[in-house]
Chains A and B, each alone.
Chain A
Amino acid sequence: MHNRLTKLIFSFFTLLIISSNAAAEYSLNMTRGVTPISRDIYDLHMTIFWICVVIAVLVFSVMIYAIIFHRKSLGCVPAKFHENTTVEIIWTIVPVFILIGMAWPATKVLIDMEDNSKSDMTIKITGYMWKWHYDYLGQEVRFESNLATPMEQINGREPKGKNYLLEVDNPLVLPINKKIRFITTANDVIHAWWVPALGIKKDAVPGFANEAWAIINKPGIYRGQCAELCGARHGFMPIVVIAKSEFEYEKWLKNQKKK
Chain B
Amino acid sequence: MSEEHHHGPKKGITRWLFTTNHKDIGTMYLWLSFIMFLFAGSMAMGIRMELFQPGKSLFEPNFFNQLTTLHGLIMVFGAVMPAFVGLANWQIPLMIGAPDMALPRMNNWSFWILPVAFSILASTLFMEGGGPNFGWTFYAPLSTTAPTTPSSTDFFIFSVHLMGMSSIMGSLNIIVTIFNLRAPGMTYMQMPIFVWTWFITAFLLVAVMPVLAGCVTMMLADRHLGTSFFSAAGGGDPILFQHVFWFFGHPEVYIIILPAFGVMSEIIPTFSRKKIFGYHSMVYATAAIAILSFTVWAHHMFTTGMPVIGEIYFMFATMLIAVPTGVKVFNWTATMWKGAMSFEAPMLFAIAFLIMFSIGGFSGLMLAIVPADFQYHDTYFVVAHFHYVMVPGAIFGAIAAVYYWLPKWSGKMYSEFLSKLHFWLSFISLNLVFFPMHFLGLAGMPRRIPDYALQFADFNMICSISAFVFGLSQIFFLFILLKTIYSGKEVREKKTWDGAEGLEWTVATPAPYHTFSTPPKVVPLH
In the complex, residue of chain B having the shortest beta-carbon distance to the beta carbon of A90: B330
* Contact in complex: B446, A103 (CB < 8 Å): no
In the complex, chain A residues whose CB is within 8 Å of the CB of B439: 20, 27-29
Cβ of B519 to closest chain A Cβ, rounded Å = 26
In the complex, chain B residues whose CB is within 8 Å of the CB of A16: 435
* Contact in complex: B55, A66 (CB < 8 Å): no
In the complex, chain B residues whose CB is within 8 Å of the CB of A229: 65, 134-135, 139, 142, 447-448
In the complex, chain A residues whose CB is within 8 Å of the CB of B482: none
A225, B456: Cα distance in complex, Å = 14
* Contact in complex: B319, A155 (CB < 8 Å): no
Check A117 for interface membership: any CB of B closer than 8 A.
no
* Contact in complex: B451, A82 (CB < 8 Å): no
A31, B455: Cα distance in complex, Å = 14
Other-chain contact of A113, B275, B280, B340, B371 (Cβ < 8 Å): B371
* Contact in complex: B338, A70 (CB < 8 Å): yes
- Asked, given contacts A45-B375, A59-B358, A202-B305, whether A164 binds B54 with beta carbons under 8 Å apart, the answer is yes
For chain B, give the interface size range: 35 or more
Other-chain contact of A82, B62, B275, B320 (Cβ < 8 Å): B275
Other-chain contact of B311, A110, A164, A208 (Cβ < 8 Å): A110
For chain A, give the interface size range: 35 or more
B residues 370-426 near A (Cβ < 8 Å) are 370-372, 374-375, 377-379, 424
A139, B46: Cα distance in complex, Å = 47
Cβ of A53 to closest chain B Cβ, rounded Å = 8
Check B115 for interface membership: any CB of A closer than 8 A.
no
- Asked, given contacts A79-B274, A232-B133, whether A66 binds B369 with beta carbons under 8 Å apart, the answer is no
Cβ of B440 to closest chain A Cβ, rounded Å = 9
In the complex, residue of chain A having the shortest beta-carbon distance to the beta carbon of B498: A72
In the complex, residue of chain B having the shortest beta-carbon distance to the beta carbon of A228: B378
* Contact in complex: B446, A205 (CB < 8 Å): no
B residues 303-361 near A (Cβ < 8 Å) are 303-305, 308, 311-312, 315-316, 319-320, 322-323, 326-327, 329-331, 333-343, 351, 354-355, 358-359
Check A137 for interface membership: any CB of B closer than 8 A.
no
Check A211 for interface membership: any CB of B closer than 8 A.
yes
- Asked, given contacts A63-B354, A227-B379, whether A78 binds B374 with beta carbons under 8 Å apart, the answer is no
A70, B273: Cα distance in complex, Å = 11
Check A180 for interface membership: any CB of B closer than 8 A.
no
Bitwise interface map of A from 42 to 74 toward B, beta carbon under 8 Å scored 1, else 0: 001100110010011001101100110011110
Cβ of A136 to closest chain B Cβ, rounded Å = 21
Say which one of B205-213, B214-222, B231-239 lies at the interface with A: B231-239
Bitwise interface map of A from 64 to 95 toward B, beta carbon under 8 Å scored 1, else 0: 00110011110011111111100110011001
In the complex, chain A residues whose CB is within 8 Å of the CB of B134: 229
A192, B449: Cα distance in complex, Å = 14
Smallest CB-CB A-B distances: 5 pairs: A207-B232, A235-B449, A210-B305, A27-B443, A79-B338
- Report which B residues bind A (CB closer than 8 A): 54-56, 60-62, 65, 133-135, 139, 141-142, 146-148, 231-233, 237-239, 272-281, 303-305, 308, 311-312, 315-316, 319-320, 322-323, 326-327, 329-331, 333-343, 351, 354-355, 358-359, 362, 365-366, 369-372, 374-375, 377-379, 424, 428, 431, 435, 439, 442-444, 446-456
